[in-house]
Amino acid sequence: MNRNLFYCLITVYLLMIFFYSLNSGLTCTNDGSHFALVNSMVERGSFELEDNVRFARHDSAISSGKYYSDRAPGFAFFLYLFNHALSPVKNSMQMINFDDFAFLKTDYSEDQRICLLQLAPAFCCTALFLVIFFLLRQLSYKLHVSILVAAGFCTGTIFLRYGTLLYSHIFTSLLVTLSFLLAISYARDKKIYILCTSTFLLAYAVISEYMTIFLFLPLFIFYIYKCRRNFLNIRHFTAFLVSGMIPATLLMSYNYMNFGSPFSLAQFHHSTYVFYHDAGAIFFGTDFLTNARTLLFYSPKYVTLFGGSIFLVIIFLLPFTYHALKKTPGPEHILFLSGFLIASVSIFSYTLCTGGLDLNYRHMLFAVPLLSPLVAEVFSSIEELSARFNRKHAYVLFILIFFIALLYSFQFQLRHLRSFFQARHEFLSYNITSAVNNCSFFMFLLVVYIAIALSVRGLMAANKRSRK
């Protein structure tokens, strides 16, 4: 086995055990609405919730007197495939300790399905760590910087919380970050299959969380600036459009089947929040600047981005280090910064942007990993300044300060791991035994699938060589 692949698998296994041990099953109607849709598809092959509405309750949609999930369906589609992919080991899943929300709502098969599906957010958060790491390595940042920054984002932000919950945020964040990583690769290699994959992933992120659609704008501008000749080639541009239309067609088909129109989203039929019925009321129903302050900097009730993850404050050093070094940001850094800013502006304009009872910035979580290259760039700039002024100890001191800030952020996130409506336990990792068992079976199956994929790839390569 390739050594790098071995290290990746070990990392996945250990991190998955950590994230999975912190989960407590379904916690509220938010993850309950996702599960209700998956459960309906698995049990009846239907999108209609029927009795599964007990998991969604007020987080549901009503059309023609029938109940549906109010969520974007992309995450549930993924969970449906995830459930079938892991079906060979489902009977080996060990039960976890559930929150009170699911009490008396489930039977044994549903409890078993929840235990299996909770592997998905743990895997997504672990995969996000690897994607951020490889993104930073591709941008030529050093090994220790890439590891520190990737670890910071996955454990020092609310990704730690959403790596334990069946919400769509962690899944969408993974798709967005991987899409941007592949966009950078396409700009360098000009290969059409990379463009197709990047576009498909971002389009699928849109049908998982609609607000990600705004990220196509900075990505399109980046392609025009960085690789205009290749991107505007009729073959590449057609591939770009077709790749984006595949998830869009899936969403429109879902909408047409359930709500009578390809453009009628589930939110427009919300059973509780009637303002969703008017598309014009979804935005600018609350104060933009208040939303920005509440999500980014300070609110006595909320976990804010920079208040809860103080290691991210170093980003504000970047203009000063650039000025001292007489540097300007490259197109890749402008892409990531503009992606974060555009996503943030769209979320601040969203009427219910403050995460409901979660009391955090979860609606803009998909944009947070886009800050990772900027954090890594601060490391690079500080190191360059230290070398220029022959003060190498200054860079070591900077790393130490960053590590302390990261530890503080990690402890802060652990204190806010569970919302007020979730059960409290003296030991956070109270599902550690189940985590070891369930993640071990998951890894066994993952290795089998990887081996099959590598074998098929080898056979295709051998067949291609024989034809020559």
- Are 93 and 14 within 8 A, CB to CB? no
DSSP state of 41: H
DSSP state of 68: E
Amino acid, res. 434: S
CA-nearest of 320, 316, 319, 312 to 295 is 312
- Are 149 and 311 within 8 A, CB to CB? no
pLDDT at site 369 = 98
Sign of the four-CA dihedral 11, 17, 22, 28:
positive
Which residue positions in the chain have pLDDT lower than 70?
Answer: 1, 104, 355, 421, 423-427, 468
- Are 95 and 111 within 8 A, CB to CB? yes
- pLDDT (tens digit per residue) in 157-182: 999 999 999 999 999 999 999 999 99
- Are 161 and 413 within 8 A, CB to CB? yes
CA–CA dist 28, 40 (Å, integer): 18
Q: Which residues contact 353 (CB under 8 A, 6 or more apart)?
A: 286, 291, 295, 347, 363, 364
Sign of the four-CA dihedral 64, 68, 70, 74:
negative
Q: Which secondary structure element, helix H or strand E, spans residue 62, and what is its range?
A: strand 60-63
CA–CA dist 18, 154 (Å, integer): 12
pLDDT at site 1 = 57
CA–CA dist 285, 350 (Å, integer): 7
pLDDT at site 468 = 63
For residue 66, the cross-strand partners are 63
pLDDT at site 426 = 62
- pLDDT (tens digit per residue) in 66-124: 999 999 999 999 999 999 999 999 999 999 988 888 776 888 999 999 999 999 999 99
Q: Tell me how crowded residue 88 is: count the other CB atoms within 10 A of its CB.
A: 12
CA–CA dist 362, 358 (Å, integer): 8
**SS3 readout for 306-349:** HHHCHHHHHHHHHHHHHHHHCCCCCHHHHHHHHHHHHHHHHHHC
pLDDT at site 355 = 67
Structure tokens, 317: 């050093």
